[in-house]
Amino acid sequence: MPRLLIVCLSNSQKTGSDLYVIVLNVGSTSKTLDLTKYYGLGTQAEVITTSLSSQYIDGDVIKPTEFVANPYVGTVLVAV
């Protein structure tokens, strides 16, 4: 069962501020997520950093509608 922690960080005080989403899956199974439903990432997000066992690598541009949270992996994304 996936056990997810998702945190959204934004500096709304600043015009054109960055929107960051941190996804941690501390469960033993993968989960596909649509991060646009709740976090307003738009059509693309960039992987800022991720765990070594992730399917993503730093700098990947991904579709937040099809984000896969793999078991025991943490990923930081930023809207692009």
pLDDT digits (tens, 9 = 90+) for 5-41: 999 988 665 555 688 999 999 999 999 999 998 877 8
CB 32 within 8 A of CB 66: yes
CA nearest 56: which of 41, 69, 43, 42? 69
Confidence of residue 54 (pLDDT cuts 50, 70, 90): very high
The per-residue pLDDT of the chain, averaged, comes to: 89
DSSP state of 3: -
Domains detected in the chain = 4-79 (2.60.40.1180)
In 11-80, the DSSP E strands lie at: 19-25, 31-33, 45-50, 61-62, 67-69, 73-79
**pLDDT over threshold 70, residue 42:** yes
